[in-house]
């Protein structure tokens, strides 16, 4: 969910890489835990550049706590979508535009490892993270947060139509939902990509009714396709005046509706469509970019990202879940964010081997 945020320094990522020399900088690998005894004297006056996708958000006070602790400046650079950020990191491998890259997830990390853009680092706080959230066994990418992509429904619209939330994905192609479902293009949107992967896992590529059969039926049922999450949610979704009663979004969108409501609410106006195998759990992580000359400071920042201070700041800024066990959640998350117990199971290696073909097939069926 894209949210506005403010840090001490945010700079736009410069366009055009033609002037960037792709020179591999000599830098030793080191996956030992950072020294807990590090002080401001070790880093005083240094600048740490953190590349992030546009949906990254954390409070200025939290970033300032790290800056003050080590007498450094943290510059956060927005790279667009998370996939765009990874592409740029690959293009500038060895001569990176920053010291850390945040936003590589439990699907895209396969490309990152193949391109060898990260240095290994295993923070001590990994012991406080559930093993199921640690998606990179090689120790190059540290998990930071996770969330669930699924369909939200507008309660008032369904009540007026006399409908209940769908219990299966197959129902979405029925006449009741004609012109009432909004999704994002997987070519341009991360949640759209994750939904596409969910349908591949849910329906399969072979058999009497495949994932492409589903999308053909959805197109015939007047599916609404947006380029991005913002348009799908704030323009197409009936909660905001659009025609779609269902929208591909996040499990934490309902509590966000309560938190940002103009008047206090006892109930969220939206709910989650809970379908076994019909959601996707995304885990996002951070890695140290190969070629940085700030490796020790980058390690210290990763340690900070797994601290209680940073982790507890994640839910109400990025509206996703912290990965460290025991971090308290906002009451709205506990009350209004129904968590899927059976998300889709997707093998990252299979995705890496087939993603381009799947995107082409989806585009042929849905858009052409």
Domain ranges of the chain: 9-146+282-329, 148-280+335-366
pLDDT tier for residue 31 given thresholds of 50, 70 and 90: low
Tell me, letter by letter, the H, E, C secondary structure of 105-165: ECCCHHHHHHHCCEECCCCHHHHHECHHHCCCCCCCCEEEEEEEEEEEEEHHHHHHHCCCC
pLDDT(210) > 50 = yes
Q: What confidence tier does 10 reach under pLDDT thresholds 50, 70, 90?
A: very low
Average pLDDT in the 45-52 region?
97
Of the CA atoms within 13 Å of residue 298, those in its CB half-sphere come to 31
Examine the pLDDT at 356 and tell me if it is beyond 70. Answer: yes
Could you count the other beta carbons within 10 Å of the beta carbon of residue 295? Answer: 20
What pLDDT band is residue 13 in, cutting at 50, 70 and 90? Answer: very low
Is the Cβ–Cβ distance between 128 and 77 less than 8 Å?
no
| pLDDT band, very low/low/confident/very high, at 298 (cuts 50, 70, 90) | very high
Mean pLDDT of 196-211: 98
Q: Is the pLDDT of residue 34 over 60?
A: no
- Summarize the confidence of residues 296-300 as an average pLDDT: 97
Measured from the Cβ of residue 235, the count of other Cβ atoms closer than 10 Å reads: 15
**Averaged over 7-36, what is the pLDDT?**
41
Q: Return the pLDDT at 24.
A: 34
Q: What is the mean pLDDT of the chain?
A: 90
Which position has the token pair 């759209």? Answer: 192
* Fold entry, domain 9-146+282-329: D-Maltodextrin-Binding Protein; domain 2 (3.40.190)
Contact (Cβ atoms closer than 8 angstroms) between residue 190 and residue 280: no
| Averaged pLDDT, 143-160 | 98
Which residue has 């490309």 as its token pair? Answer: 111
248 CB neighbour count, 10 Å cutoff:
27
Tell me what pLDDT residue 4 has: 31
335 pLDDT band, cuts 50/70/90, is: very high
Task: Return the CATH number of 148-280+335-366, one of 3.40.190.10, 3.90.25.10, 3.40.50.300, 3.40.50.720.
Answer: 3.40.190.10
Lowest average pLDDT, out of 83-97, 207-221, 282-296, goes to: 83-97
User: What distances in angstroms separate CA 200 from CA 103, 182, 186, 193, 222, one per listed residue?
Assistant: 23, 18, 13, 11, 20
Rounded to two decimals, the pTM is: 0.83
Predicted local confidence at residue 36, as pLDDT = 56
Residues shown for the chain? 368
∠252-256-259 over CA atoms, to 5°?
A: 140
> Mean pLDDT, to the nearest integer, of 59-63?
98
Asked if the domains 9-146+282-329 and 148-280+335-366 are classified in one and the same CATH topology, the answer is yes
pLDDT band at 29 (very low <50, low <70, confident <90, very high): low
**What mean pLDDT is predicted for residues 286-302?**
98
Q: Of 188, 321, 185, 174, whose CA–CA distance to 248 is shortest?
A: 185
Does residue 18 carry a pLDDT above 70? no
Do β-strands 224-226 and 9-12 pair in parallel, antiparallel, or remain unpaired?
unpaired
* pLDDT higher than threshold 80 for residue 320: yes
Q: What percent of the chain has pLDDT over 70?
A: 90
Kindly report the CA angle at 287 between 11 and 326, in degrees rounded to 5?
100
Q: Per-residue pLDDT averaged across 247-253, rounded? A: 96
Residue 270: per-residue pLDDT: 98
Q: Give the pLDDT score at 269.
A: 98
The reported pLDDT for the residue numbered 82 is: 84
């Amino acid at each position: 969910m894209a949210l506005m945020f403010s840090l001490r320094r945010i700079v736009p990522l410069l366009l055009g890489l033609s002037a960037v020399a792709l020179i591999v900088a000599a830098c030793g690998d080191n996956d030992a835990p950072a020294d807990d005894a590090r002080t401001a004297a070790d880093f005083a006056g240094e600048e740490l550049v953190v590349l992030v996708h546009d949906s990254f958000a954390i409070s200025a006070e939290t970033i300032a706590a790290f800056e003050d602790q080590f007498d450094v400046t943290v510059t956060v650079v927005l790279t667009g979508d998370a996939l765009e950020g990874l592409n740029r990191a690959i293009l500038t491998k060895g001569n990176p535009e920053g010291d850390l890259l945040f936003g590589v997830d439990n699907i895209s990390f396969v490309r990152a490892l193949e391109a060898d853009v990260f240095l290994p680092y295993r923070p001590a706080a990994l012991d406080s993270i559930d093993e199921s959230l640690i998606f990179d066994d090689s120790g190059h990418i540290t998990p930071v947060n996770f969330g669930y992509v699924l369909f939200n429904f507008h309660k008032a619209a369904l009540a007026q139509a006399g409908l209940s939330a769908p219990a299966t994905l197959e129902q979405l192609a029925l006449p009741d939902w004609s012109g009432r479902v909004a999704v994002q293009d997987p070519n341009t949107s991360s949640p759209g990509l994750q939904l596409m992967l969910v349908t591949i896992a849910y329906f399969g590529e072979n058999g009497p009714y495949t994932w492409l059969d589903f999308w053909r039926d959805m197109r015939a049922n007047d599916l609404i396709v947006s380029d991005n999450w913002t348009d799908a949610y704030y323009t197409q979704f009936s909660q905001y005046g659009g025609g779609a009663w269902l929208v591909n979004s996040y499990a934490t969108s309902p509590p966000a509706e309560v938190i940002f409501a103009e008047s206090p609410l006892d109930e969220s106006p939206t709910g989650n469509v809970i379908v076994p195998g019909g959601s996707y759990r995304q885990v996002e992580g951070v890695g140290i970019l190969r070629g940085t000359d700030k490796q020790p400071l980058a390690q210290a920042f990763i340690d900070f990202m797994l601290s209680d201070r940073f982790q507890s700041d994640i839910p109400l800024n990025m509206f996703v879940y912290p990965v460290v066990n025991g971090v308290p959640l906002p009451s709205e998350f506990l009350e209004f964010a129904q968590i899927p117990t059976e998300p889709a199971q997707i093998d990252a290696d299979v995705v890496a081997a087939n993603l381009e073909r799947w995107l082409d097939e989806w585009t042929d069926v849905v858009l052409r």
